[in-house]
Amino acid sequence: MLKRKLGTSGLEVSALGLGCMGLGGVYGPATEKTAAIELIRTAFDAGVNFFDTAEAYGPFTNERLLGEALAPVRDEVVIATKFGFAIDMETGERRGGVNSRPEHIKAVAEASLSRLGIESIDLFYQHRVDPAVPIEEVAGAVKELIQAGKVKHFGLSEASAQTIRRAHAVQPVAAVQSEYSLWWRGPEAQILPTLEELGIGFVPFSPLGAGFLTGKIDAATSFDSTDFRTHVPRFAPDALKANMALVEMVRAVAARKGATPAQIALAWLLAQKPWIVPIPGTTNLHRLQENLEAVSIELTASDLKEIDVALSNMALEGARLPEAVLKMTGL
């Protein structure tokens, strides 16, 4: 597996990471524990050393799962987790909204360290910006955790360019995580230029459009009642039908390159900047291998231009998240 550096932070990770959120049941029933551990360890054996989780996934269960799976190879991996949602620290009950008060950040760090079974969090993201707490205070709290040796690097998720700059001035930001894919290119306007200027890495989540860019979903697809996509506007039947033109375009490129649509979607992201590290998630060993093979696919300048021209002529429909969730982002 090729390695990439997340900006100028010195943090080097595999060119593709593994997003672990889906193992906890976000896309339907949770993956059985033994199977989930096997998938994580298979990813490591294939060269993945960058694993993404959060206290909110579960809550708490995803961190415990990842900690157990990676315990034998702790010194060989980079573990990213997140703070920032209002969750009862004892019961795991979601209280709604966000909480990035400094004392809460520090409490979450201690709890995450315990659940993961590690001595230091490699990359600690603010999961969502808290409008009630100045980002300078957030960055300051993480800076203290770094000075105490409990965190190694600071990250932000779904933050605006202005927020990134303010945080970076207090404590250097190693990486920013936001949704980015052929289906949603919002970060290109302001986020990517800001990150390039400041020397910050970028970690796209949902690089396969929550499964849409694999080509396995169409307007007739139905989702399990526990699947969050049942609440996402762009997965409504009419939107899916309208957006199939995107999938057909990706399929055409894939056929010409001898690849799958998912591999083309990931290869496209990797081709955008050398400091971009997507974190596709999966619950399937076959899909894991398929995704990882994307690092060997080279899209030429001509390929990339063809894709850009095609995208510019498409009117994609549906918001990427429910309205209430979108309000919690800085994008």
Cα–Cα distance, 99 to 101 (Å, whole number): 6
Q: Return the biggest CA–CA distance within the chain.
A: 54
Contacts of 50 (CB under 8 A, 6+ apart): 13, 14, 16, 17, 18, 77, 78, 80, 277, 279
β pairing state of 85-87 and 94-98? antiparallel
Distance of CA 270 to the CA centre of its chain: 14
Give the closest residue to 330 by CA, choosing from 107, 158, 73. Answer: 158
Cα–Cα distance, 71 to 59 (Å, whole number): 20
Cα–Cα distance, 223 to 242 (Å, whole number): 18
Cα–Cα distance, 191 to 185 (Å, whole number): 10
Tell me, yes or no, if 27 is annotated catalytic. Answer: no
Beta-carbon-side half-sphere exposure of residue 233 (alpha carbons within 13 Å): 11
By the 8 A CB rule, do 84 and 99 touch?
A: yes
- Which amino acid does the sequence have at 144? E
Contacts of 145 (CB under 8 A, 6+ apart): 105, 106, 109, 121, 124, 151
Q: Is the dihedral of CA 259, 281, 283, 73 positive or negative?
A: positive
- Which residues does the annotation mark as catalytic? 57
